[in-house]
Amino acid sequence: MKFKFRLEKAARFFDQREMAKKLELANVMSQLSRLKTELQHFENENREVFKKNTEFQTVAAPWIKIWMDRVDANLKDIKRVQTEIESVLEMVEIKKMELSAISKRKKALEKVKEKRLAEFKIQKSRAEQKKLDENYQILELTKE
């Protein structure tokens, strides 16, 4: 007598979906990390420009326009990256909710499987005990 869980295919399906959602979430998180690094780069570059601007304000007057143009370009990039970060954060939340829903279904199936396995073990134990009792009765009958 062997335990067979009828919903095994469904359990495997949810395992696969859970892994896929985890990969999707990891990809979105790496995209978020990349965008945050890019944002940090632009902010650092602007700080450097302002630092240079205050240090060389009188000496490097011709460079000020070039530096300020660079700051303007960086500010546009910062705004673009910030909007991308916001959309990626929304995607992260969606992926987390999807993963949570799939994980809940998977856990529910695992609980059903554990319950049925426990029932199977009890049933198997009872069947074995019944066989032992029958064998004992037969043994007692043959002694007489």
Residues near 67 by beta carbon (within 8 Å), at least 6 away in sequence = 49, 52, 53
Q: Is residue 120 part of a domain?
A: no
Residue 107 confidence (pLDDT): 94
Q: What is the pLDDT along the chain (144 residues), one digit of tens a residue?
A: 788 888 889 889 999 999 999 999 999 999 999 999 999 998 898 888 777 766 666 555 666 677 778 888 988 999 999 999 999 999 999 999 999 999 999 999 999 999 999 999 999 999 999 999 888 888 887 876
Q: Is residue 133 part of a domain?
A: no
Query: Quick one: tokens of 78?
Result: 């910062």
Distance between CA 102 and CA 109 in Å, rounded?
11
The number of distinct structural domains making up the chain is: 1
Residue 57 confidence (pLDDT): 61
Q: Is residue 137 part of a domain?
A: no
Q: Residue 79 sits in which domain range?
A: 8-111
Q: Is residue 132 part of a domain?
A: no
Query: Quick one: tokens of 104?
Result: 């809940």
